[in-house]
Amino acid sequence: MNLLVVPFVFFAFLWSPNYSSAALDALKPTQTLLDNGETLVSVGEKFELGFFSRGKSKNRYVGIWYKNVPDTVIWVANRDNPLSNSSSGVLTITQTGNVVILCSNQSVIPTWSSNSTTKDPTLQLLITGNLVVKDGNSENYAWQSFDYPCDKLIAGMNLGWNLKSRWEWRLSSWNGPEDPSTGNFTYAVDPRGLAQLLQRRGSEIQYRSGPW
Ligand SMILES: *[C@@H]1O[C@H](CO)[C@@H](O)[C@H](O)[C@H]1NC(C)=O
Ligand SMILES: *[C@@H]1O[C@H](CO)[C@@H](O)[C@H](O)[C@H]1NC(C)=O
Ligand SMILES: *[C@@H]1O[C@H](CO)[C@@H](O)[C@H](O)[C@H]1NC(C)=O
Ligand SMILES: *[C@@H]1O[C@H](CO)[C@@H](O)[C@H](O)[C@H]1NC(C)=O
C-alpha cells in the first residue's frame, strides 16, 4: 500500500502550479503581479489592485481602486516610493511574508516593502478592499492596508488611535492630482483625550469637529 502513495504524491506535485501569474484575488510567494495590466480583483469585483500612473507623470504606483471607477484610487502602497519611468515593476510576497515592490524581476533591493513577517503567507485583496497578509487561514493578519490609510476612508477602516498599541490611523492628502505622495493636509483624531477630529495643514489646525 505504501508504494502506491509515493507516485501519487509525485503526480500531484507535477500538477501544482509553479511561477504562475496572479490568480484572481491572491498571490502566493512563487507568484508575481507584473506592470503589464495584471491585476488582483476582489471577490464581488468591487476592488482592483495593480500598477498605475496619473496624468503625464511617469511615476508608477501600486494601488487599489474601484473596479468600475478606475480613476478613484482609494489606497497607494508606494505613495512616497514610486518606480520612475519603468514598466518592469513587480509586486510579490516573499516566503517570509514581506510584501515587496521591485523595479524589475532582477532587483534585489525592493523599492517598497511592508516589512511584515509570517510563516505561511498569502497576499489577498479582500471583498472589503483591505489588502492583507494572511498566515495560513488565521484571521489575525500579519499586515493590512487598512492600517495605512492614504486620503480615503472606506467602510471597515478606522480613524484614530489603537490605545493599546499606540498605533494611529490618519488620513493625509495627495500632493496633487498626479502625485499621491504624502501631502500637507492631514485628518486625524486629537490624541489628547477629547474625541475630536482635526484637519491640519502642516501643524496648523484648520478644522475641529468639537463644539469650541
Ligand atoms: C522613459 O523611458 C523611455 C523608454 O525606456 C525613454 O525613451 C524615455 O527617454 C524615458 N523618459 C525619461 C523622462 O526618463
Ligand atoms: C525577467 O524579465 C525578463 C524581461 O522582462 C524576462 O525575459 C525574464 O524571463 C524574466 N525572468 C523571470 C524569472 O521571470
Ligand atoms: C520598511 O522598512 C524600511 C526600512 O526601515 C522603511 O524605510 C520603510 O518605510 C518601511 N515600510 C513601511 C511600509 O513602513
Ligand atoms: C507642503 O509643504 C511644503 C513645506 O512647507 C511646501 O514646500 C509644499 O509646496 C507644500 N505642498 C503643497 C501641495 O501645498
Q: Which atom of ligand 3 is nearest to the CA of 77?
A: 13
Q: What does 11-48 look like in DSSP terms, one character per residue?
A: HHHHHS--S-B-BTTEE-TT-EEETTT--EE-TTS-EE
CA of 187 to the centre of ligand 4 (A): 16
Beta carbons within 8 Å of 121's beta carbon, 6+ residues apart: 28, 29, 93, 94, 95, 96, 97, 133, 134, 135, 142
Q: What is the pLDDT of residue 96?
A: 97
Q: Is the CB of 85 under 6 A from ligand 1?
A: yes
Name the closest ligand to CA 133: 3
CA of 147 to the centre of ligand 2 (A): 33
Task: Flag whether the pTM goes above 0.85.
Answer: no
Give the binding-site residues of ligand 4, using a 6 Å CB cut-off: 175, 183-184, 202
Query: Which ranges in 1-116 belong to alpha helices (H)?
Result: 2-15
Taking only the tens place, the pLDDT of each residue in 14-66 is: 333 344 444 599 999 989 999 999 999 999 999 999 999 999 999 999 999 99
Task: Determine the Cα–Cα distance for residues 196 and 160; give it in Å rounded to an integer.
Answer: 10
Q: What is the pLDDT of residue 162?
A: 78
**Enclosing H/E stretch for 189:** strand 179-189
- Amino acid identity of 125? L
Q: Pick the closest to residue 111 from 61, 39, 37, 177 (CA basis).
A: 61
Q: What is the pLDDT of residue 208?
A: 61
Task: Determine the Cα–Cα distance for residues 46 and 129; give it in Å rounded to an integer.
Answer: 8
Q: What is the pLDDT of residue 5?
A: 33
All 3 cell numbers of residue 105?
524581476
- Amino acid identity of 98? N
Q: What is the pLDDT of residue 191?
A: 64
Q: What is the pLDDT of residue 186?
A: 82
Q: What is the pLDDT of residue 85?
A: 80
Name residue, grid cell 497578509.
133
> HSE (CB half, 13 Å, CA atoms) of 65?
16
CA of 20 to the centre of ligand 1 (A): 29
Task: Determine the Cα–Cα distance for residues 122 and 92; give it in Å rounded to an integer.
Answer: 10
Q: Is 211 exposed, middle or buried (0-12, 13-18, 19+ CB in 10 A)?
A: exposed
- Residue pLDDT tens, the chain, 212 long: 333 333 333 333 333 334 444 459 999 998 999 999 999 999 999 999 999 999 999 999 999 999 999 999 999 999 999 999 888 999 999 999 999 999 998 899 999 999 999 999 999 999 999 999 999 988 899 999 999 999 988 888 888 777 777 788 888 999 999 999 999 888 877 666 555 666 777 766 666 665 44
Task: Determine the Cα–Cα distance for residues 19 and 69; give it in Å rounded to an integer.
Answer: 31
